[in-house]
Amino acid sequence: MRERAPKLVITFRSTTDAMMMEKKCPEGTGRLIPVPREISRGCGLAWAAEPDQEEYLLGIMRENDIPWLEKKIIEFYDF
């Protein structure tokens, strides 16, 4: 049986912002996902990553002027 694991989910105002996040983040730091029902805000795309990556990812967004709407820890089946 698959286990649920906490993930950091960050939502964006626009698809352009979400795509910029994907472009600026090194491989292995997360991935784009559809916005989970628990949040349902923004452009429809969100960045999902390990919770311990939060400060690192916020730094990348600050350095690259990538605006975000909301960040939340949500439990997912591991992906």
If you average pLDDT over residues 10-15, what whole number do you get?
96
- Residue-wise pLDDT for 43-68, tens only, equals 899 999 999 999 999 999 999 999 99
The Cα–Cα gap between 47 and 22 comes to: 8
Q: Is the pTM of this model over 0.75?
A: yes
Which is it for strands 71-77 and 4-11: parallel, antiparallel or unpaired? antiparallel
Residue environment code for 48-71, b if the CB has 16+ CB neighbours within 10 A, otherwise e: bbeeebeeebeebbeeeebebbeb
Please tell me the predicted confidence (pLDDT) of residue 76: 85
Whether the per-residue pLDDT at 79 is higher than 70: the answer is no
